[in-house]
Structure 1
Amino acid sequence: MSRRPAALTAAAAVTGALALTGCSDSGTSKAELSVSGSYMPQPVSADMAAGFLTITNKGGTKDELTAVRSEAAGQITMHSTLGGEMRERSSFAIPAHGRLVFRSGGNHLMFEQLRHRPKQGQTVTLKLTFAKTGPLTVEMPVKSATYHPTTGN
């Protein structure tokens, strides 16, 4: 038996191992979601409030925000605003290596049927649900009713 087949077998094994390593879950092949810039302006209404945040995806796969829940509200709906027209949405795409921004005058969350009226300085806990990634819990600070962020959103 010659050494050549053994050398080829070893080379094939190393090549196969490298190929598998390339296919392993190195963090870039899935969505990597994080939340920043979250806030709720202190509600002026006793039963409704708005919420804003940015979801960043550093991963190589897109995901989708499919639901938002909080003990602070009976329900939370997601809306987009285009050309001055507000539309309720059942989900929002979060592109690979991209961001989903909820900001005043654009995409936003509506807290409906508030169980209590959050005050400036308090926080509201949210659970964000995604199509592919596990849920994220977010502590959303309540800011003044006139708060407008200068960075982040």
Structure 2
Amino acid sequence: MNRRTTLLGAVALTTALGLTGCSSDSAPELKVTGAFMPQPVSDMAAGFLVVENTGGADRLTSVTSALSDHVTIHETKNQAMRMVTSFEVPAGGELDLERGGNHIMFTDLKKRPRPGDTVTVKLHFEKAGAISVDVPVKESTYNPKK
């Protein structure tokens, strides 16, 4: 084998290993920030948060909570809301559930939480499994500054 063939082989191997490290097949590394629930004014409530992902891609497939037996995830497009079965959490990106956009929806609340209370939710992901999050309840008009 000559030096050129060896060098080309080494470059190809290094490139392949580098691409593997960026692969969406790597494990997701998820962190939840900015969670809040505006105080419900009826038997329905919404939840908002950001899922930051420094690893491979994943999907949020469902949300559960003792607050309600009916917790769903909704997307908002063209000012219309509809239930979806999952949200993508992109590799090296984030899933932003925010007022006026995609969000968590709680219906048939078992009780109405008040500002200062905390609601525990479990976010269920396709690859990362379940993550428990304590969501603080804020006043109904609360909107975080970005």
Q: Deviations over 1:76-115 (max 9, x none)?
A: 1111111111111010000000000011100011111111
Percent identity for Structure 1 against Structure 2: 48
Give the C-alpha shift of residue 134 in structure 1: 2.0
| 2:81 alignment partner in structure 1 | 86
- CA distance in 1 between partners of 2:28 and 2:134 (Å): 21
TM-score by length of 2: 0.82
Q: Which has the larger radius of gyration?
A: 1
Q: Distance in 1 between matches of 2:122 and 2:74?
A: 17
CA distance in 2, matches of 1:56, 1:87: 23
* Deviation, structure 1 residue 64: 0.2
Q: Distance in 2 between matches of 1:72 and 1:134?
A: 21
In the alignment, residue 106 of structure 1 is paired with which amino acid?
A: G
* Aligned equivalents of 1:53, 1:70: Cα separation in 2: 15
Greater shift after overlay, 136-145 or 70-79? 70-79
Q: Deviations over 1:10-56 (max 9, x none)?
A: xxxxx9xx99xx69xx8x821101100000000011x1101100001
Q: Does 1:31 align with 2:28?
A: yes
Gaps of 5+ in 2: 1-9
Aligned to 1:69, what secondary structure does the other structure show?
A: strand
User: Residue in 1 aligned with 2:134?
Assistant: 139
Instruction: Say yes or no: does 1:56 pair with 2:44.
Output: no
Which of 37, 42, 46 is equivalent to 1:40?
37
Code of the aligned partner of 1:43:
P
Letter of the 2:34 partner, please give it. Answer: G
Unaligned runs of 5+ in 1: 1-14
**Paired residues, what number?**
130
Aligned partner of 2:48: which letter? F
Quick check: 1:74 aligned with 2:63? no
CA shift, 1:138, in A, is 0.1
Residue aligning to 1:8? none
